[in-house]
Amino acid sequence: MSFEIVLTTDRTMMSNHRRKEFLGFMTTGPAVGIPEFLWMWVAAPKIRVDELGRPVEAPYGLRKIEARLQDLGYKAAIIDPDYIGKYLNSMKILMIGHHDYFAYGPPSSEWWFITGKEPVNRKSFIRFMRSEPVRKAKEKGVKIIVGGPAAWQWLWEVELMREFGVDTVVDGEAELVIGDIVEKALSNEELPQYVFVGPHEVPQVSEIPVIRGASVNGLVEIMRGCPRGCKFCSVTLKPLRYIPLEKIRAEIEINVRNGVKNTILHSEDVLLYGADGIKPREEPLIKLHELAKELTPESIAWAHTSFAAVKYAEDNYRLVSKIMNDILHDKQDYLGVEIGLETGSPNLAKKIMPAKSAPYPPEKWPEVVEEALKILHENKIVPAVTLILGIPEETPDDLIKTSELLDRIRQYRSLIVPMFFVPMGALKNRDWFRRNAVRREHIDVMLKTLYHSIYWAEDIMNRFYMKETKYLPARILLKIFMSYVKHKVDKLKPKLEEMIHS
């Protein structure tokens, strides 16, 4: 069997990260304390492939485009990066997707900034693009089309774009525009260099295809867009669409049929599935979780939610408790999710994310965070919480408020990751956060998050996350890594404290 369109990405993306997606975050940093090959072995091991080199699991975004191209009648398939050389004679188009091609997104840019070393995702991607099969494909006249959430990063790497021979960058939801680009490429017509898909060209729910193969770790999209309108976020610019249960069912079934026994419900805010504006509703969420439970052999996770939705859902319907204790209780003993805290300052929250706390007022944002974290802790939901440092409007007082909030939430099980501001969303024309802009208040916040996360990481690993024996080697390596980081920071601490108090 041959393919005229090959979709792929580098190893940091084409991996199931040992079925622990948080391990995937290690690929956003440089190898620290252990050699890079070991770092990659822990965070991004090779994935199982079939006899054609098609991975059993692949990134969800690539799966969507693969499905769309197949619907349009093209011979298209996702191929593992180690196997694309098999298709040099049939391939006409090479499509590549990535979350963070050049490590400019959060948190890669932050690890790069702190350590001064290139993160492994960037190194791995550049290595892949310079590999023999990609170079040979280009020599044979294969068109290279790149896309995904990090498409914009190519605008900052035009020299590499030239070196790699990238023909077109597609930025945005590509379902409705990709057919036209492929037709042009196959008939050797001139291709556009950059395509930004605006709000009028995104697909309606009925136009979003169902994936044909399994997605990494069983990720299934339940909605697109977000109604909160935070200024730093690009997702919020897209129209809000809820994926119907029958499509969600079809995708979970495909994952399970292909041996992926977990489901990650993907949305910018899972608790807003079927919501009344920004107010979670009981019925759609119960139905969603009952469906996911019925079809998923092992555990379920949420990609993202929000503190405001957690508090509202629990206060009004006891919904978080119902999902965890009535629906999922016999399936799993915890649930993982990523949540944006961004700032502990009500003033800054009002400026950059006035609806993030809704239906509660932005003035109550710190209280909403605290109460929601308590609800999550009590219901064994383990959040990876993100903070943004260096937002353009941020003041020292805002950072002090964040620091004070970190003290109050120390008691709640969570990992807290500070991220430096990356210009995206309505702030995408603003300046990047730079090393010389770091204040002592930033260092204070970073130290607090580090100690918080190290404290809880061990608890999470022992009690929930990687407690099975098969994870012992990876767990040992992670513990060594955490001890190494703590040791390094302890050594640096007097200097940092001197800076903080100067």
Q: Is 148 helix (H, G, I), strand (E, B) or coil?
A: coil
Contact present, 34 and 477 (Cβ < 8 Å): yes
Distance CA 343, CA 352 (A): 10
**Minimal distance, residue 124 CB to other proteins, in Å:** 22
Asked if 190 interacts with other proteins (CB under 8 A), we say: yes
Considering only 132, 159, 189, 283, the residue that binds other proteins (CB under 8 A) is 159
Distance CA 390, CA 402 (A): 12
- Residue whose tokens read 């249960």: 245
Q: Judged by CB under 8 A, which stretch of 171-179, 289-297, 362-370, 434-442 contacts other proteins?
A: 171-179
Tokens (6 digits) for 367: 């209280």
Instruction: Give the pairing of strands 241-242 and 223-224.
Output: antiparallel
Which ranges constitute the DSSP H helices of 224-326?
245-257, 282-295, 307-317, 319-321
Q: Which residue, 162 or 495, is less far from other proteins as judged by CB?
A: 162
Considering only 36, 130, 196, 410, the residue that binds other proteins (CB under 8 A) is 196
Considering only 118, 201, 282, 393, the residue that binds other proteins (CB under 8 A) is 201
Distance CA 339, CA 181 (A): 36
Asked if 189 interacts with other proteins (CB under 8 A), we say: no
Distance CA 407, CA 415 (A): 14
- The beta strands (E) that lie in 298-457 are given as 300-302, 304-305, 335-342, 381-389, 415-420
Q: Which residue, 3 or 25, is less far from other proteins as judged by CB?
A: 3
**Minimal distance, residue 73 CB to other proteins, in Å:** 3
Q: Is 342 exposed, middle or buried (0-12, 13-18, 19+ CB in 10 A)?
A: buried
Asked if 199 interacts with other proteins (CB under 8 A), we say: yes
Q: Which residue, 195 or 388, is less far from other proteins as judged by CB?
A: 195
Asked if 198 interacts with other proteins (CB under 8 A), we say: yes
Asked if 193 interacts with other proteins (CB under 8 A), we say: yes
Residue type, 25: F
Q: DSSP assignment, residue 322?
A: I
**Minimal distance, residue 195 CB to other proteins, in Å:** 5
Asked if 206 interacts with other proteins (CB under 8 A), we say: no
Considering only 177, 353, 406, 461, the residue that binds other proteins (CB under 8 A) is 177
Considering only 35, 73, 116, 494, the residue that binds other proteins (CB under 8 A) is 73
Q: Judged by CB under 8 A, which stretch of 44-52, 172-180, 391-399, 487-495 contacts other proteins?
A: 172-180
Q: Judged by CB under 8 A, which stretch of 124-132, 170-178, 281-289, 304-312 contacts other proteins?
A: 170-178
C-alpha angle with apex 64: 194 to 323, nearest 5 degrees?
Answer: 125
Q: Judged by CB under 8 A, which stretch of 195-203, 281-289, 324-332, 367-375 contacts other proteins?
A: 195-203
Q: Which residue, 142 or 295, is less far from other proteins as judged by CB?
A: 142
Considering only 52, 56, 237, 450, the residue that binds other proteins (CB under 8 A) is 237
Distance CA 130, CA 348 (A): 43
Instruction: Give the pairing of strands 93-97 and 166-171.
Output: unpaired
Asked if 425 interacts with other proteins (CB under 8 A), we say: yes
- Binding site residues, other proteins, CB under 8 A: 71-74, 152, 154-156, 158-159, 161-162, 166, 171-172, 175-180, 183, 186-187, 190, 192-201, 237, 423, 425-426, 428-429
